[in-house]
Structure 1
């Protein structure tokens, strides 16, 4: 059983409500930790753009130049409404390039999470997106060697 020793680097954003003057350098991950050079609000923007193009059958956005294309295990989470109710969350424990990973999992988490029906155009304006990059994996001592809301767990 592998687990992430530290919380994932995660940034959540509601694209249409972000202050355009705030720079990506000043973003704070949801877990309160900073991951300089890794987490960028533009990752959430990119997921919104990917989902928008999918919903409207238009060309997908090109690879962004606003954040690096490093490899990390990652998850994309969609929540809905003011209560931010979970609407989809899918990712991978296998490290992959951020650009292609976000492109793939923005769609998969929105359309293929078996717990939910696919996200619709009508829901799009009410969505919030979170991107989680998983860091610092280590072997767990046993099945109880993890903390709720702190570790990501791979049960393999």
Structure 2
């Protein structure tokens, strides 16, 4: 998906089924007016990538590296953000995760999700959520001892994209250009968790309920006809709707197939009656997701291990900046968010 057009197929609530507050790997409605990549794929059944593709820790690590590098370049809300990232990206060495791919040029639909750790005393809804979309808030409710995360941004593409560049591209898009949220700032990074979802095993469904909760994500597409009367004559016009939910959404919300499809119809922007007649017209494609998550703490620990392997006798706390210069080619350069360098970035980075 292009950086300017957010799309997230996760917990946008529908009026019908009840909804728990849970963050998802994606949340945003995909209506007929949305951008092509997510709202209107070229067909109802996108060409499937290799079913053996798997999301990896290295992909998540690259997301944190990419975001921290971008934030440390300056104002993330600048109009030059997109072009500066592309110029920077073209100069970087091949990311570590690419080395594990069977084909470096392989393409796959994907979504990148950022969740933010919720403070214990905070409100259920994230304070950074734009007011016009505050019903999109979500949180992972588990046990009191388990950290609770809230959705902070999710953008992806249902059209296959080259993994070589798209992991970093969508890491920035979801963090900085999800229109439901203010751009992520440097001060928030230590509270973030990233999820990489690769969409695989696309199959055309026999009907819109031909899929399994907890296993499949679904992409629906349907067209309605509107008749309008004018000057004694009637005119017919059609409108196409589409939307998607990632595999984990239905189970997290406690929905069965019909409830999930009903919610997805509402998410697409359709406000008419959802009856059996409408359900029979829906084209549905199911898919599965290979998903991997990484918290900021896990990212920091991974980075420390990488640096110890390169300079085992060097103290990271005493020579942070020097290491950044010496570790040329290593992902994670200048991505520390705890020292003086971070504080300078935090004050120079603004959110809209």
Higher CA-based Rg: 2
| Higher relative contact order (CA closer than 8 Å, sequence separation 6+) | 1
1:90 aligns with 2:155: yes
Stretches of 4+ aligned residues off by more than 6 angstroms = none
1:105 is matched with which residue? Answer: 170
What RMSD over aligned residues (CA atoms) do the two structures have, in Å? 2.4
1:52 aligns with 2:60: no
Q: Secondary structure at the match of 2:165?
A: helix
Give 1:148 shift. Answer: 4.2
Q: Would you tell me which structure has more helix in proportion to its own residues?
A: 2
Give 1:137 shift. Answer: 0.1
1:63 aligns with 2:99: no
Q: Would you tell me which structure has more strand in proportion to its own residues?
A: 1
Aligned residues: 123
Distance 1:134 1:36 in 2: 11
Change (3 A) 1:148 1:43: same
Gaps of 5+ in 1: 1-11, 13-34
Q: TM-score normalized by structure 1?
A: 0.68
Q: TM-score normalized by structure 2?
A: 0.32
Deviations 1:30-86 (A, max 9, x none): xxxxx8773320100001011111111174553313432332111111111131211
Give 1:89 shift. Answer: 1.1
Q: Secondary structure at the match of 1:122?
A: helix
Gaps of 5+ in 2: 1-24, 26-50, 75-87, 118-146, 222-352
Change (3 A) 1:118 1:145: farther
